[in-house]
Amino acid sequence: MLTCLYVSAILFLRKGWISIPPYVSVQGIPRTKVSILIAARNEEDKIAITIENILAQSYPAELRELIVVDDHSSDRTSAIILSYRDRGVRLIKLNEKEKLNSYKKKAISEAINLASGELIITTDADCRMKPDWLKAIVGFYEETGSKLISSPVVYANEISFFERLQTLEFLYLIGLGASSIGNKMPSTCNGANLAYKKEVFVELGGFKGIDDLASGDDELFLHKVASRYPESIGFCKSSDAIVFTDAKASVSEFISQRKRWASKSTRYKDKKIVVLGVAIWFFNVMLLISILAGFFDPRNWITALLALVLKALAEMLFLKPVTRFAHRTELLKYLPLLSVVHVIYIIYIGIAGNSGKYIWKDRLVR
């Protein structure tokens, strides 16, 4: 029964992805002022590349501003940002003396207070973009009138086998978020490529009510907007709108990141999403139990194998169009392995992500 539920859920996601038409801009002269915001902490190795990519955008310079918030960096991050001052990049330095649990939300809020743009676009300090990134997102905004726009994020420049597995798994997550929007049930998005109207942020009280968690500046805010404007959430399905970033180099970094992401699930207000997530977690638990029970009765291995095959086939059907969009279909050869490893991963993260504190940006948070 749980296998049938999982397969049905994945096929429903596939329907959501397919229902989102590829976005091709028919925009004329852009008219929207945008504010691009970055919260950075100890990013001296990558922040310059991100800033250069944003300054090289084809979008009119007079209609964009870049604000970078240095979150108590102990390296040269601030100095690098300041070196772009003559090119219009603004630096804000957080100087909070009292300990916070959500420094990133504080950083974004401070930047929004000073932002002059109608549309806020957030990204991360280790990202790269194509020259038409802004043009695609703003074109989508002007043509659809969406209050919040989620756009794709893709891992690139993988070095190791582990990083390639992460890229495929991350495409699954990005596809899941897009599909939920396509199915009119917004559940997740990524703050590395997120846009929303400044007036909506102000109207909803910003991050008030979700600012006690270190994470959640993206999907928990998505839920706030969706509860007020359920028909005004969009996904910009354009290759120009993709933001590129890097997979985690080590298992410990990967686990820490995923624990942070999973920690937000306890605050989901849409009970349908919570129930589905719990059911999928139990599906993976039962799969593991069936595999272990096979050592006592080999017939359980037949049950587990059937469930794994159906799981992998459903995931293949879902991931094929998602990887095609990202031009990464070669990664599908790793799906059989990832589908098995995913069982242990989902069980562990489901527990670890909701059971205490974790290290993020050299801080102990929850």
Provide the whole-model pTM: 0.94
Going by C-alpha positions, the residue among 143, 241, 125 that lies closest to residue 189 is 241
Q: Report the Cα–Cα distance between both ends of the chain, in Å, rounded.
A: 34
* Residue 275 CB coordination number (10 Å): 10
pLDDT at position 295 is 95
Instruction: Give the contacts of 344 (CB within 8 A, at least 6 positions apart).
Output: 288
Tens-digit pLDDT profile for residues 290-330: 999 999 999 999 999 999 999 999 999 999 999 999 999 99
Predicted confidence at residue 358, as pLDDT, reads 60
Cα 60 to Cα 57: distance, rounded to the nearest angstrom: 8
Q: Where are the alpha helices (DSSP H) in the chain?
A: 2-19, 47-55, 77-82, 103-114, 133-144, 161-182, 198-203, 219-228, 251-262, 271-293, 299-325, 335-352
List, for the chain, all residue ranges whose pLDDT scores fall below the cut of 70: 27, 266, 356-360, 363-366
The dihedral built from the CA positions of residue 13, 18, 20 and 24, taken in this order, carries a sign that is positive
Superfamily in which the 20-158+185-249 domain is placed by CATH:
Spore Coat Polysaccharide Biosynthesis Protein SpsA; Chain A (3.90.550.10)
Q: What is the pLDDT of residue 25?
A: 82
Domain boundaries, the chain: 20-158+185-249
Tens digits of residue pLDDT in 256-267: 888 888 888 767
Distances (CA, A) of 266 to 10, 168, 176, 279, 366: 22, 25, 18, 15, 12
Token digits for 339? 């589908």
